[in-house]
Amino acid sequence: MDPRTTVEAMLRPDLRGRTAYGAPQLEVPVALNTNENSYPVPAVVVDAIAAAVREAAAGLNRYPDREFTALRRALAAYLSRSGTRVTAEQVWAGNGSNEVLLHLLQAFGGPGRTALGFTPAYSMHPIITTTTGTTWLDGMRGVEGHGAFDLDAASAVRQVVEHRPDVVFLCSPNNPTGTALGLDVVEAVHDAAPEALVVVDEAYEEFARPGTPSALTLLAGRPRLVVTRTMSKAFALAGGRLGYLAADPAVTEALRLVRMPYHLSTPTQAVALAALAHADLMLETVDVIKEQRDRVVAELGALGFEPVPSDANFVLFGHLADARATWQALLDRGVLVRDVGIPHYLRVTAGTPDETTRFLEAVAALAPTPTGAAP
């Protein structure tokens, strides 16, 4: 190789010119841009985590439990609380749900295979897809006579039949729109793609409004269906980096072929187990966050904006003349929200009551009336 060859020239062709994922990490009074839980881990749980890590530390000379057996059992027990029985053999976990998604694509994607998602949706889906050499197919949302961000069974099936993907991503509640899917959409997509793995990303499921169903209820008899979750949001454990999934045991067995040895460290397993042992306490803030989310929707609507009704811990709002200028104006007032790249829209996380007040006051001070047109 010519010693003058640049790193850019050596990079895989499909990665050249791409931009790495990265939400701004800025020191601001009110950070509402990454859908974190604004409430700190309760002191009781902090003590339990510290004790668990301390106990585990004496054995750090040994590799961690490669099968993370106790953690899989605890996650299965937590999921089974919803009324749908999940066994430890159905559970897989990784360092955040992104690693879990990576494992799925390493096992079921790859060169010559395709993954279909319905955008706008979670921006990491196409990024992770590309890193595995899988071809990303950009499906579209929007239902005539309904919201611009809705996805119905007929539209989803039509796109699945057209593209015949190897992996299909469904996001419910969807990020960045906050909209949830009916189980009819999941069932229809699953049936229309008999050779595809169907992945339902439920990272925000704990924040869903009453009556919003989980795809966990569809797992029985559907070995190609996968439901992914995370402890980053409702469990306020974003720094713990623990994501997981439930699926047929054949899927979790396949993921063992692609995971790195001992991929979940002993401290990671200890932290997650301590948090799960206090699940009720960790989830106490969920209802408060949902109240603030609904408050944001109501008050933004009263201000003349166009908030999208949400089943997540965030709200996408539109009718902005210039989303980027609005983002900067809010930042100048000490409030950091997310520009998700949708013209005339921004996304804000539902935080504490005080954070919500700060955000709403900042928005109200920007302009008399928003003038942008919705897409």
Cα angle, residue 98 at apex, residues 159 and 102 outer, rounded to 5°? 70
Among 18-22, 71-75, 195-199, 272-276, which is the least confidently predicted range?
18-22
Q: What global pTM score does this model have?
A: 0.94
Residues 209 and 260 in one domain: yes
Residues 206 and 70 in one domain: yes
What pLDDT sits at residue 14? Answer: 87
b/e sequence 271-288, b meaning 16+ C-beta within 10 Å:
bbbbbbebbeebeebbee
Structural domains of the chain, count: 2
Residue 373 resides in a domain: no
Alpha-carbon distance of 177 to 179, in angstroms, equals 5
> Using an 8 Å Cβ cutoff, are 138 and 165 in contact?
no
271: its two tokens: 């932290």
Q: What is the helix (H) or strand (E) element at residue 318, kind and residue range? A: strand 314-318
Percent of the chain with pLDDT over 90: 89
Residues 174 and 73 in one domain: yes
Alpha-carbon distance of 251 to 373, in angstroms, equals 44
Q: Which amino acid is at 122?
A: Y
**Mean pLDDT on 322-337:** 97
Residue 368 binned pLDDT confidence (cut-offs 50, 70, 90) = low
Residues 258 and 353 in one domain: no
Residue 346 resides in a domain: yes
In terms of C-beta distances under 8 Å and separation of at least 24 residues, what long-range contacts does 42-45 make, across chains too? 42/278, 42/281, 42/282, 42/284, 44/278, 44/281, 45/274, 45/275, 45/278, 45/281, 45/282
Residue 356 resides in a domain: yes
Quickly list DSSP for 148-195: TT---HHHHHHHHHHH--SEEEEESS-TTT-PPPPHHHHHHHHHH-TT
DSSP letter assigned to residue 315: E
Residue 21 binned pLDDT confidence (cut-offs 50, 70, 90) = confident
What pLDDT sits at residue 26? Answer: 87
Specify the higher pLDDT residue, 143 or 14.
Answer: 14
Angle, nearest 10°, between helix axes 286-302 and 353-364? 10
Residue 51 resides in a domain: yes
Place of tokens 């980096």: 241
Residues 335 and 249 in one domain: no
Q: Which domain holds residue 312?
A: 7-41+284-364
32: its two tokens: 């509402």
Residues 326 and 263 in one domain: no
Residues 74 and 110 in one domain: yes
Residues 137 and 225 in one domain: yes
Specify the higher pLDDT residue, 4 or 228.
Answer: 228
pLDDT(244) > 90: yes
Average pLDDT, the chain: 94
Residue 333 resides in a domain: yes
What pLDDT sits at residue 375? Answer: 39
Please list, in sequence order, all residues whose beta carbon lies within 8 angstroms of the beta carbon of residue 71, skipping any fewer than 6 positions away.
93, 264, 269, 272, 273, 276
pLDDT(138) > 50: yes
Residue 32 resides in a domain: yes
Residues 310 and 240 in one domain: no
Q: Report the CATH number at residue 354.
A: 3.90.1150.10
Residue 372 resides in a domain: no
Place of tokens 């062709």: 13
Final residue in a domain of this structure, among 219, 252, 279: 279
Residues 143 and 226 in one domain: yes
Residue 148 binned pLDDT confidence (cut-offs 50, 70, 90) = confident
Q: Report the CATH number at residue 50.
A: 3.40.640.10
Residues 344 and 310 in one domain: yes
How many C-beta neighbours within 10 Å does residue 235 have?
25
Residue 369 resides in a domain: no
Final residue in a domain of this structure, among 246, 279, 312: 279
Final residue in a domain of this structure, among 218, 245, 279: 279
pLDDT(8) > 90: no
What pLDDT sits at residue 86? Answer: 98
Residues 101 and 207 in one domain: yes
Percent of the chain with pLDDT over 70: 95
**Best CA proximity match to 202, nearest among 95, 311, 291, 72:** 311
Q: Which amino acid is at 55?
A: E
Q: Which amino acid is at 226?
A: V
Residue 374 binned pLDDT confidence (cut-offs 50, 70, 90) = very low
